Amino acid sequence: MKKIISLFLCITLISSLLVGCGSIDSENGDTTNATTGSDQSETKTNMSDQEPVEIRIGFWPAEDRENELVEFEEYKKICEEKYPYITVIPDYYKYDESTFLPMALAGETPTVFSTWFTEPKKLIEGGYVADITEIIQETGYDKKINPGFLEITSKEGRLYGLPYSGYGLGLLMNMNLFREAGLVDSEGMPLYPKTYDELVKTAEIITEKTGKAGMYIATNSNVGGWHFTNLAWNFGAEFEVLEDGKWMSNIDSPEVIESLKFIRSLKYDSNVLLPDALLAWGEWVQNYGTDNVGMVLAAVDAINNPVQQYSMNKDAIAIAPMPEGPGGQYALTGGNIYMFSADATPEQIDACLKFMEITGFSPNISEELKTSWDNTYSTKAENGEVVGPTSIPVWIDEDRVKAENEIIEKYTNVDMKLFNDYFEVTPNILKPEEPVFTQELYATLDDVIQATLASPDSDIEGIVKAADEKFQKDYLDTLN
């Protein structure tokens, strides 16, 4: 019943927002230029002059996400009623490198789709996405998005995408296992590792006291390479270097070798890892959410996955900054971006932006939007999800950030002392992902990790040498 009430409120609020708001071009979100009376008639007349526009929404929810599907159907209804010339076509697409290129070559890319921070460079250079510079400048969005994020979607002063979420990796802790292992202080806060030596000892205590894996090391589906990159940075590694204008692989380095020896030691000397050979995203969510793993690298934007999928108690979740290693202390930062098909017309891009504003993607605030946030966070709290810790804000407008934070604080339902150290340290140690062929690098490192962990006597030097040569030949040499 709550979901139905929430949905009704959401629809009502969005409808109110649409009735009361001015156009998307409004830079300050001022609703005083609302379309009323004769203005409405004029607007309708203008609408009737519009050529029909069809947009295919690639970030439509998957079929198994029933609540979100209901929400998006209502967004579609509202959009098509507000803008009768727009037809919204659901076109769920989960970005994947292996499927994107054939789809793009066949001219079947959704009008707007979601991808990762690692992808814009190659999608831009390949000509697979639209230049949205002028239309975004007209909306003023470009002045209200975190410039560091915006740079990721830009090339030579032109803009090709809109970031909508950002994160920094940290050390996620299962407090059920930390408490069982006695790894809490007098106030019940986790005695978390601040160095990699301490990480080993902490993992060993968890395994000894609980019988569960102390640490999760991913090995598959690019998740292994993604996590390992951050771990190895803290041992001083750099995977890609620019020498005399040429990109060179640096997988074969003493720092990478030391990092691999570290994770091999976790498996064969400390015996604190899960026994499975292939471990990726779904496996960490499952094992962490069912109290089978004490620690895993993850970010705040993912902490509700174990709650939603495995009914994990929200009070068993805590996160700390990445431990400091011999090479420093870094937290890999990444995120997600909306990009538009290269075939999209300006009218279609404008229509997509109108639809996205209805879903809440907008820097502009209004009382209606605040009420919508209130509904969203109250529903999360009622569903037992974590409310309080947030991702890195995409929008930089102080009033907008403050307005949303005030509502989040109203519904915060966890002890923020379990998260505070992460938020104090992580913004100061963020490091962008390796700059070119990032996903290909992660896939290469997946193979390296699997080969390393296959045996206590694995030939790590030989493994990294072969991987270095292959990555250079197959990818980096194509840029040089």
Q: Assess contact for 171 and 192: CB atoms under 8 A.
A: yes
Whether the model pTM is above 0.75: yes
Measured between alpha carbons, how far is 283 from 3 in angstroms, rounded to an integer?
29
- What's the token pair of residue 244? 């005399």
Question: What residues have CB less than 8 Å from 417, skipping those under 6 apart?
Answer: 187, 189
pLDDT in tens, 371-401: 777 877 888 898 899 999 988 888 888 888 8
For position 259, what pLDDT does the model report?
Answer: 98
Q: Assess contact for 476 and 436: CB atoms under 8 A.
A: yes
CA-nearest of 405, 376, 474 to 67 is: 376
Measured between alpha carbons, how far is 333 from 429 in angstroms, rounded to an integer?
9
Share of the chain above pLDDT 70, in %: 90
Rounded alpha-carbon distances, angstroms, from residue 397 to 18, 30, 423: 21, 14, 20
Element containing residue 104 per DSSP (H, E): helix 97-105
Query: Is the per-residue pLDDT at 412 higher than 90?
Result: yes
- Count, in order, helices (H) and strands (E) of the chain: 19, 14
Query: Is the per-residue pLDDT at 35 higher than 90?
Result: no
Cβ-count burial of 70 within 10 angstroms (0-12 exposed, 13-18 middle, 19+ buried)?
middle
Helix (H, G, I), strand (E, B) or coil at 373: helix
User: 368 pLDDT band (50/70/90 cuts)?
Assistant: low
Residue ranges of alpha helices (H) inside 143-275 are 147-152, 175-180, 196-210, 223-233, 254-268
Is the model more confident about 225 or about 36?
225
pLDDT in tens, 273-326: 999 999 999 999 999 999 999 999 999 989 999 998 999 999 999 999 999 999
CB atoms within 10 A of CB 370: 16
pLDDT in tens, 156-166: 999 999 999 88
For position 34, what pLDDT does the model report?
Answer: 32
Q: Mutual orientation of helices 367-382 and 2-20 as an angle, nearest 10°?
A: 170
Cβ-count burial of 364 within 10 angstroms (0-12 exposed, 13-18 middle, 19+ buried)?
buried
Residues paired with 296 in a beta bridge: 172
Report the sign of the C-alpha dihedral through residues 172, 177, 178, 181, in that order: negative
For position 118, what pLDDT does the model report?
Answer: 87
pLDDT in tens, 90-123: 999 999 878 998 999 999 999 999 999 889 988 9
Measured between alpha carbons, how far is 218 from 279 in angstroms, rounded to an integer?
5
Residues paired with 242 in a beta bridge: 247
For position 48, what pLDDT does the model report?
Answer: 66
Measured between alpha carbons, how far is 305 from 408 in angstroms, rounded to an integer?
19
- What's the token pair of residue 205? 């205590």
